[in-house]
Amino acid sequence: MRRMLIAVLVLLLLFSMSITAKAEGVTAVERTITPEYGGLVYVIDKIHVSESSFRYGIVEEMHDRLVAFSVDGGDYKLIGKKTGGLYIYEIYPRSRLVTVKAIYRGLISEAGGNNYELVINAEPFIEGHTVQASIFLPTTSYVRYPVAPSGWTLTERGLEKRNVTISGSSPGEPIVVRFTSGGLALIQVESLDMSYRLSESSLVIGMKIANTAGNPLRQLDLRMPEGIEVKEVRDTLGKLIYSWSSKDRVLTINLEQSRYALQNSWKYSFTIIAKCTSTQCINTSDETARILVFTPINASISSLSVSLILPEGYEADLSKARLVEYRHDPAGAAIATIDTSGINIYDPSYFTIPIVKSPSLASTAQWLIGGGFIVLIIGTVVMQIMRGKALRPKIISEKDAQIIFKAIQELQKAKSTLLEIEESLAPTAAKAKPQLMTDKMHVVRRTADSIIESLGKIEEKPAELQRIVKEINQAVSTFSEALRVILRNYADFQRGELTMPSYKKIYDSFRKDLRYAYDMLSNIEEDLRELAKK
């Protein structure tokens, strides 16, 4: 009897210990924090788990800057925001090791020169679990840590904080990590447009970027996955100077030599033409078309568009494909724009759409005759939808839209005048009359003033207008000052008092400013077109 009582007590003690251990839930986490070239910060947690689910927390200040969240080795769902501003994700592991990847924007700020600061909640938080963590910020080719924050260790590998015990009751406080970089870029990608031409195994990438750093952006580094070879980089004025390393998969665009260095808030648009050299990028069969979707830079992306131009004789299977737009170009090729809402662009992944061979003319006619009634119904529904769209109130009235379209026409004339001046003052030409160039400058100024005055007559005052007017003035002022500088030296060059190499240096500087003004006016033209659609 006594032995049985002792055995029962031992079992009760073991049971209570197991309950206590489960309540405390000690979890091992290996966290890596990496500031990336484009300005994003990657936080990767390798979590060793033994339970069927756990709750992963992100503080509000960081969650507001979250651009992507993914879980490898498990599933997840967002539970919501708790009192105090903590966002909770319920994670359901499928294995003993789960990798959680969170990508953030806006955590890096400049601290003068090549110095930067990263403000971050560095410690992982799992609700109700005591975490035993090791945290690592690796040194990279473009990030160096000169000093360690309190409680951290600086090694050749980077910053480390090992065997940290973290409570599961509340998240830790943010820390400031200082680092240096001679090549970090802080970029906002305003638009990323990727067009895959399947029959040619080619890829055209259109990008519009803005420099959000105080330092000028002199060159831009982009990274391409395996199976893609860069063939050309250009903008609206022509080819750009670039280098491409097939080994390192890095494309470096020399902005300063090609056009100009991007100052703070300056925007720039360019196009990359590439060849897909393996099925890793593009793979087409009679039933499916598969493409690799990726981003060339780890920067925040405002707008993403991905489209496929199908081979001749093929159409998308619209009953199965997940598309946002489907149309045909003038040559008859089908263009499918995919739905990117569920795509994590920061993790290269494949997207597949089902395709079918185009029906013959006879089978098409037979289908139309047999399904004429259905087509009639669909046509009626489409007309009703179109009427419904037409009845929706527009922000911009027809009268205001006419003002905007006229402003666009005037902008195009001003851009043409800029190109005329650029050509006339080229070292190989050198036949222009300075007074004529000055007169043309005044024409551009008057055109800009006329555009600004007309835009002021728009009845609705969308917020974009104030910015557009400011950018018009900035573009014209930049060009005007550059023209004054070159004209002071142009007469000396014509008389032979200034050598060709000396004048060419002055002209190259002038040309960069002129092309900056030209690109700025092009961006304004694009913004006005978008405004007119509202």
CA 58 to chain centre: 23
- pLDDT tens by residue, 111-125: 998 999 999 999 999
Is pLDDT at 383 greater than 70 in this prediction?
Answer: no
Domain 24-180 has CATH 1.10.1060: no
Q: At 68, which helix (H) or strand (E)?
A: strand 66-72
Residue pair 45/76 in contact (Cβ under 8 Å)? The answer is no
Q: Which fold has domain 398-533?
A: Four Helix Bundle (Hemerythrin (Met), subunit A) (1.20.120)
The DSSP 8-state label assigned to residue 118 in this structure reads E
Task: Identify the pLDDT of residue 20.
Answer: 38
pLDDT band at 259 (very low <50, low <70, confident <90, very high): confident
Q: How far is CA 221 from CA 38, 173, 212, 231, 251, in A?
A: 9, 34, 16, 16, 6
Residue matched to tokens 């802080």: 186
Residue pair 334/314 in contact (Cβ under 8 Å)? The answer is yes
Long-range contacts of 446-451 (CB under 8 A, 24+ apart): 447/410, 447/411, 447/413, 447/414, 447/417, 448/414, 448/472, 448/473, 448/475, 448/476, 450/410, 451/407, 451/410, 451/411
Structural domain boundaries in the chain = 24-180, 187-357, 361-391, 398-533
Annotate 334-371 with three-state secondary structure: EEEEECCCCCCCCCCEEEEEEEEECCCHHHHHHHHHHC
Is pLDDT at 369 greater than 50 in this prediction?
Answer: no
Task: Identify the pLDDT of residue 185.
Answer: 94
**Comparing 65 with 278, which gets the higher pLDDT?**
65
Same CATH fold assignment for domains 24-180 and 398-533: no
| Domain at 187-357, CATH homologous superfamily | tricorn interacting facor f3 domain (2.60.40.1730)
- pLDDT tens by residue, 416-427: 888 888 888 888
Task: Identify the pLDDT of residue 469.
Answer: 84
Cα 528 from Cα 401, distance rounded (Å): 9
Q: Which two tokens stand for residue 263?
A: 């100052």
Is pLDDT at 38 greater than 90 in this prediction?
Answer: yes
Is pLDDT at 13 greater than 70 in this prediction?
Answer: no
pTM > 0.85? no
- pLDDT tens by residue, 405-462: 888 888 888 888 888 888 888 887 656 777 888 888 888 888 888 888 888 888 766 6
